[in-house]
Chains A and B, each alone.
Chain A
Amino acid sequence: MRSASFARLVLCGLGGLAVLVTGCGNDPYPPSDATSKVLYGSFVDAPKSLDPAVAYSQREHAITGAVYDTLLEYHFLKRPLELIPGLAAALPEVTDLGGGRSRWRFELRPDLLFHDDPCFELSAPGARTRAITSADFAFSLARIADPKVGSPVVEPFSNVEDFQAFGERLAARRASEPAFAALPVHEQYRLVGPIAGVSAPSDSILEITLARPYPQIKYWFAMEFSAPVPWEAIAWYDGEDGRPRFDDHPVGSGPFQLTRYDKRAIFVLEKSANWYGVRHPEWRAPGATYPSEGEERDRAAGRLESAGRPLPMIERIEMRREKEDLPRFNKFMQGYYDNSGIVAENFDTVIQNGRLTPEMQALGIALDKEISPTVFFLGFNMDDPVVGKGVDAAARTRNRMLRQAMSLAIDAEEFLRIFSNGRGLPAQSPIPPNIYGHDPDYRNPYRQPDLDRARAILARAGYPGGVDPATGEALRLTFDSYNTTTAGLIQHQFYTNAWKKLGLDVRIEAVTYNQFQDKLRNGAHQIFEFGWGADYPDPENFLFLFWSAMRNSTNGGPNYANFSDDRFDALFLEMKVMENGPERLAKIREMIAILEDERPWIELMVREDYLLRHGWLANVKPSGLSIPTYQYLDIDVEQRAERRRAWNQPVVWPLYVLLAVAVLVVAPGIRTYLKERQ
């Protein structure tokens, strides 16, 4: 009797679970959103700061790039990347002022507005927005110069006349006058006087004067650093009295406005009614109209079908945080994310040999590929006595040959095959494709893997069979890394195993990021792995990684290999200021030839971004730079709803199996119990 009631209880419990499951389903979104043009995506790492003067990584640009509009921007489809006017009415007029100085004159579009925000109450009571003037751009540039903001791009903007001096004046006055330091920052900037190289002769004209030749400055005006920022937002969003900080509450002028921001869980961007493209579609402005020109492959991929339509085409963007691969990819496969996002470390094998598997194609999933201007390499510390430059002629030759041999041992193609399923290109030089100076036919003789040749060079260098004559044992080197994850360790073992084949004993020292940075600073590293992504599509942005003025050990710059070569430096300084042309190309070739022989780097690969997307999402083309292009996207909402339904029918039968098993386990127990009682 008693046992029967137990059994009934168990059965009821499991039955209740069954009802719960069938009635529940796995749709993570409210049903009301099923019919609107909402883009569903994911992000991995929480953004740090959304201040456009500070934000400097892809995860932050995914928001700031949509919220802040810039004077110039890149053409959506054309490759190599090409600048088009954004908030500016046209590309800037450049006047040579002599002595290396130049003036860049931007004309703003009329009738530009910031996003709606309560902070504009500060300028006029009841105001929710206001017009953007050239003074707002000047304010943004002053913020970059302000040492308190801590912008990471002071160095390139220092080519603007008086830029650094302005920052110094500001800091000095703040230190000496506490009353001044207490003023709102826009007052401080006004009192310290404008930056001489930045002037706003009228509300619609912005003039930038460069003290030195730096043609690359134009690219910085296509990045959010120089986007207009209202002084009201800085004054209002200070984190006091329950107001958020400006870092977490952007007020911009772009096609989308940030309406919800929980950096650990979700952010929501909504189409802004104040954007010039929305208010004035009749302008057919190049930044607010879908382009009608592109590459040949764009036509084949259907990316030109939206030509001429006003932007943006979607209403809302919802990005949810997914730290783990399994949930992220699974939700994509269930249709709950429209694209897979660029999966950086883990390469999903839905792609085989660069193509989608037939199963995936049958689901209507598409694959978009784009070469990213990001180059990965193994670097040698050129200050190191064994693998570095060497103190005398004999050491120089010996060490160079060691580097050459080690370079010959690394098979980048095999690496790509194993770790990224063939995704990416083996790099031949530091300059990746789509960057001026990249030669698609160039084959670096030390990057064609050849173990026999490597062994021969190693023997000639004085390490026959990898044996160090000083100790009589295998030459011991260290591979320094701050990637302590298991996946990272496995990749590092690929390199060290390759060198083992030469007889070299390379030990991996995976330390914390802090300890790694310490090693870099103290020059205690020997071999390291690194990647460099372009800020802008110019070879200067890659070759400066070998410029002696950027040496990490002496100058704290990003030349982590601590490479220095007088001939290279001279060539670099000339190349830097040249316009693209045969002369510049010749200099670049010469520089690459130096690197080819000296081998401060073992160039590994150029990243290739693969984006998986569902058939209902149109107009996806990654640029390789961290610039979001949400405004170009389009979504077929009906197709999405239908496929989601079809793909997400729960499998219920295991529940009944579970039930049966539970009964089978419990029943004999009850029987034995009853028997024992009797």
Chain B
Amino acid sequence: MGAYVLRRLGYGIGVVLGVLFLLFLLFFAVTDPDDIARKALGEKVPPAVIEQWKQNHGYDRPLWPWQDFEENLLFEHYRRMLTFDFGLSDADDSPIVDRLRSGMIPSLALTVPLLILGLGASIPLSLLVAFFRETYIDRMGVFLCVLAMSVSMLLYIIGAQFLIGKVLRWFPISGFDPDLLLLPRFLALPLLVGVIGGIGADVRFYRTAFIEESTRDFVRTARAKGASEARIMTRHVLRNAMIPILTQVVLAIPFLFMGSLLLESFFGIPGLGGITVDAIQANDFSTLRTMVFIGSLLFVVGQIATDISYGIVDPRVRLK
């Protein structure tokens, strides 16, 4: 067991190092720091200020170790990322750590309810569809799922803001306030859009899982024993299908911290997703690469945790 955990950890570390190398290629080797500085400081700035900026942000060194072994950007990049020293934003010089800290709560305020509501909506619906499989409801349900999947998220958001926010005036069209009295009305619209946008793919996925379970032997046995169809669905099928569903949910948890790019940006929620979009629009490479790194790290950690817990439960996994 110990050897398996070690091997799995070692592989995870290797993947993180690989991600960092790709990030280095994308954000240092391809881009020119002078341009980032220009973009950050504006057009009316003399060259001396640009040099000072490059020094402050650590862009004034050679790229590769063979150019300068002591002072090169590659080692510096690894050192800083691995010690979580993310430095300053390229766009406005504010510490990136502060940003991560301030963006996490609004992001979680959106993504956690979104995950719960999404599961709460799609599991019963997929159970319903699976229960009525091969009937009008099933065909209609699957068709509606494909329909829902075929609409661009942009259109969902724009449509909801226009229809529900502007025309019907049910909720504020955008905004955010951590005050608990105001928070629900601000979250109503993004949550609605998020749930509708994700429901198609989810229902289809869970439906497959349920149908697969319902063809198993024990289900047939239960049916032969005369158990009611509803009891079979809730007792046997749901319970067994929960394993792949829960795995998926556990793997999704790390990404909750990353927020949602589109929803946060359109609805003015100051979370990490909105911060990432700002970074993209402002050519803020240091923030962007930090976000990619953290996303990868969370994913790897989540995956290792899942794998190891599987390994504990099921010894066969370790041999793979």
Contacts and interface: CB of A to CB of B under 8 A. Distances in A.
Nearest to A245: B94
A56 B44 contact: yes
A393 interface: no
Cβ-closest 3 pairs across A and B: A514-B35, A327-B174, A265-B270
Given A2-B230, A265-B268, A517-B38, A24 B173 contact: no
A668 B132 CA distance: 13
Contact of B92 (A49, A154, A649): A49
Contact of A26 (B32, B44, B176, B185): B185
Contacts of B267: 327
Contact of A28 (B31, B38, B167, B172): B172
A665 interface: yes
Contact of A155 (B46, B103, B136): B46
Nearest to A535: B44
Contact of B47 (A245, A326, A330, A556): A556
B94 A28 contact: no
8 contacts: A27-B172, A152-B46, A247-B94, A321-B268, A326-B158, A326-B161, A668-B136, A673-B132
A6 B179 CA distance: 36
Interface of A: 2, 6, 20-21, 24-30, 46-49, 56-57, 147-148, 150, 152, 154-155, 239, 245, 247-248, 262-265, 320-324, 326-327, 330-331, 334, 336, 512-515, 517-518, 556, 558, 648-651, 654, 665-666, 668-670, 672-673, 676
B177 A24 contact: no
B303 interface: no
Which of B103, B171, B184 is packed against the most chain A CB atoms within 10 Å?
B171
Contacts of B175: 28, 320, 327, 331
Interface string B245-279: 00000000000000000000111101000110010
Interface string B29-58: 001100110111111111111001100000
B284 to A, nearest CB: 10
Given A320-B175, A326-B161, A669-B137, A649 B169 contact: yes
Contacts of B94: 245, 247-248, 263
A619 to B, nearest CB: 27
Contacts of B48: 147
A331 B166 CA distance: 9
B191 to A, nearest CB: 11
B121 to A, nearest CB: 9
A321 B270 contact: yes
A351 B254 CA distance: 48
A154 B46 contact: yes
Given A28-B172, A324-B174, A152 B136 contact: no
B42 A57 contact: yes
B308 to A, nearest CB: 36
Contacts of A263: 92, 94
B95 interface: yes
Nearest to A668: B136
A87 B39 CA distance: 35
B135 A152 contact: no
Contacts of A514: 31-32, 35-36, 38-39, 283
B64 interface: no
A56 B42 CA distance: 9
Nearest to A328: B174
B140 interface: yes
Contacts of A673: 132, 135-137
Contacts, number: 164
B205 interface: no
A322 B174 CA distance: 8
A327 B35 contact: no
A1 B266 CA distance: 44
Contacts of B136: 668-669, 672-673
Contacts of A556: 46-47
Interface string B1-42: 000000000000000000000000000000110011011111
Nearest to B36: A514
B147 interface: no
Nearest to A239: B95
B306 interface: no
Nearest to A654: B168
Contacts of B128: 6
Interface in B192-234: 230
B309 interface: no
A320 B179 CA distance: 15
Nearest to B275: A264
A20 B192 CA distance: 13
A264 B274 contact: yes
B132 A26 contact: no
A517 B283 CA distance: 14
Contacts of B182: 28-30
Contacts of B53: 150
Contacts of B42: 56-57, 152
Contacts of B177: 28, 30
Contacts of B43: 558
A330 B31 CA distance: 39
B104 interface: no
Given A48-B93, A248-B94, A651-B168, A672 B49 contact: no
B120 to A, nearest CB: 10
A320 B36 contact: no
Contacts of A649: 169
A322 B185 contact: no
Interface in B129-155: 132, 135-137, 140
A21 B44 contact: no
A653 to B, nearest CB: 9
A336 B175 CA distance: 12
Contacts of B135: 669, 672-673, 676
Nearest to B137: A669
A666 B141 CA distance: 10
A24 B46 contact: no
Interface in B91-118: 91-95, 102-103, 106
Nearest to A326: B161
Given A28-B172, A324-B266, A518 B49 contact: no
B310 interface: no
Contacts of A262: 102, 270
A2 B231 CA distance: 12
Contacts of B172: 26-28, 331, 336
B311 interface: no
Contact of B171 (A6, A26, A56, A150): A26
Of B92, B93, B172, chain A has the most CB atoms within 10 Å of the CB of: B172
Contacts of A651: 167-170
B179 A30 contact: yes
B297 to A, nearest CB: 23
B92 A152 contact: no
A563 to B, nearest CB: 17
B283 A513 contact: yes
A170 to B, nearest CB: 13
Contacts of A6: 128
A445 to B, nearest CB: 31
A335 to B, nearest CB: 11
Contacts of B93: 48-49, 247
Contacts of B171: 21, 24, 26
A513 B284 CA distance: 12
Contact of B39 (A25, A513, A654, A672): A513
A552 to B, nearest CB: 9
A326 B162 CA distance: 8
Contacts of A46: 92, 278
A330 B35 contact: no
Nearest to A320: B175
Contacts of A322: 174, 268
Given A248-B94, A320-B268, A334-B169, A147 B52 contact: yes
Contacts of A515: 35
Nearest to A517: B38
